[in-house]
Structure 1
Amino acid sequence: MQRVMWASIAGLCLVALSACVAKWERQDDVDRPMSWGELIALKAPPPQRDALPYGGNAPQQYGELRLPAGRGPHPLAILIHGGCWGAAYDIGYMRPLAAAMNTLGFATWLIEYRRVGGNDGGGWPTTFTDVGLAADYVRVLADYYPVDASRVIAVGHSAGGQLALWLAARRRMPEDSPLHVDDPLPIHGVVGLAAITDLESYRIGPRESCHRMVDEVVGGEPEHVPGRYSQLSPSALLPLGVAQWFIHGAYDSIVPPETLALYADRARRAGDSVVIHTDPAGGHFDVVAPQGPTWDSLVVILNNALLRMPPAGGVRPTSR
């Protein structure tokens, strides 16, 4: 059994990770994947700012900004939660990861967006336009907070991994697409945590899992709306033109690791840089847990992402 270790956060959150986010530690000798219940039991301090709306009237169009120690401007990670693109899941379970990344020098912009299965109007195209609006709002954040809009990566879990990869390729949307914008915020790298990488193949799978939600979020089957799949599926958008890092559990039953291996092979052949870190005993949720088995891998990835970014204080992308 795992237990949550929760320390006082007052005055310590900017000093050490162990003092500002909950740790999970395995209390038995059995290597088994982390459960959903264990993940959502983790706690995190609240963001320093109230939820910030990013440019719409829907209640789901907001993000949580967390800042690291120091004056900045800080490199920023856009964090995108998963949950099968469905309304039943929200940003809550990624708050510990957002807070943990602050200790590595990253500001984090954890975004919410409209999702399918509720009354919020999610799906094509609003789920994707929301994510794009939230990304572009980083330029506004940079006018008021010490974040560097020229040094941005996207980090997504599961379905959020698909959205993070899509953000990197958003500049390639056709001009007649509702997803097109003239000047999307440049993304300098993507970190996929148990990421869904191929919508057309992923839609075929157990109906009790996320697979069945692909047709709902895209708005139809590939033979009926092929243009949507070509605009949304990371595998169809290759090459993305940015470095991509993935952390995946060997025992992930929701996004099987072999799907990532196929994607990585295609991406490399297309000219993209792709690195995969595998948790040999992990499942779908271990990859999101701070100080879990994959935390060291994420630290390495984020340090590598920093090396690939423009110099600190570089020219910020122009606002529209």
Structure 2
Amino acid sequence: MADNPAAVSGEPVAAPADPRAVLDRPAPPPDLRIRYGDHPDQVADLRIPAPGPPRPLVVVIHGGFWRVEYDRQHTGPLAADLAVRGWPVAQLEYRRTGQPGGGWPGTFDDVLAGVSALPGLARAALPTGRVAPGGPILLGHSAGGHLALWYALQAPDDVRGVLALAPVTDLAEAYRLDLDGGAVAELLGGGPEEVPERYAAADPARNAPPKAPTVIVHGRQDQRVPVELSVGYATLTPAGPRLIELPDCEHFAVIDPLSPAWSAVIAALHSFVE
């Protein structure tokens, strides 16, 4: 299989001049939209995989520092690419900071409810036999990577694997660094000294790594979520997650099917089923 859909179609492949271009790049519309709750943002977009053997559902959890300004739409290009490669995909939406119910605990409640429900909902909605039995693979980017790791700690037996792309693995350190201008404080309602119990519950770095197989892909040129967070997290315990550092990669390249980094993401995804 070629490394991106442009190569599949025979079109020339080139990395975008603007790394953020993937956030606004159009993608084919999803095949279906399903609900896991009553709120307008308690939904997921499903994509039917190309013909082939059944594979685990890939639940994509988008980033954007947990803020309402960013939604699942920017994961359309990667979700479409995965579906072309034969993966059933669900792009999860959830309530975010800056909207009623977002932040603590609503954002976490939505991820817990959504990821728990999606495998069954996807099997019922997609063509018979296209979603393999068992739990999903969680693919999360940035803040979504944090939420994927967090979910795997809550429901360790329900996850096939976690693929965290440039994740926020250490909320206390991200608060100290003031990533995205107070994003962690908005998510949890304060700093580690103000709401320590929330950091204890929500911060991957304050917990043992997930039992599920976990791979982190992080670019060394990341200016939004420093790669040092992932390096520190991966070395917390001898059984920590596998870390793949990409030397010439920035924050958005790991979700861009037109980026050279995408081949590393695809290889990591396949490692969960090989």
TM-score (normalizing by structure 2): 0.89
Number of residue pairs matched?
265
Q: 1:23 to 1:162 in 2, by over 3 A?
A: farther
Match of 2:34 among 45, 48, 52: 52
Q: Any idea what SS the aligned residue of 1:305 has?
A: coil
Task: Report 1:80-229 matches (<5 A).
Answer: 80-118=61-99, 120-137=100-117, 138-145=119-126, 146-171=130-155, 186-206=158-178, 209-210=179-180, 212-229=182-199
Segments ≥4 residues shifted beyond 4 Å? none
Decide whether the 8 Å contact of 2:34 with 2:121 is kept in 1.
no
Deviation string, structure 1 residues 169-208 (Cα, Å, up to 9, x no partner): 1138xxxxxxxxxxxx7112111111100111111124xx
2:248 paired with 1:261: no
Unaligned runs of 5+ in 2: none
* Higher share of residues assigned helix: 2
CA distance in 2, matches of 1:252, 1:71: 35
CA distance in 2, matches of 1:231, 1:57: 26
2:233 paired with 1:287: no
Deviation string, structure 1 residues 139-159 (Cα, Å, up to 9, x no partner): 232234232350411011100
2:205 paired with 1:235: yes
Q: 1:252 to 1:27 in 2, by over 3 A?
A: closer
Deviation string, structure 1 residues 11-34 (Cα, Å, up to 9, x no partner): xxxxx82258x9861488xxxxx5
Unaligned runs of 5+ in 1: 1-15, 29-33, 173-184, 308-320
The CA RMSD measured in Å over matched residues stands at: 2.2
CA distance in 2, matches of 1:35, 1:291: 11
Instruction: Compute the displacement of 1:239 (Å).
Output: 2.8
TM-score (normalizing by structure 1): 0.77
In structure 2, the partner of 1:306 is 273
Single out whichever of 219-228 and 291-300 deviates more from structure 2. Answer: 219-228
CA distance in 2, matches of 1:240, 1:211: 28
Q: Please identify the structure whose Cα radius of gyration is greater.
A: 1
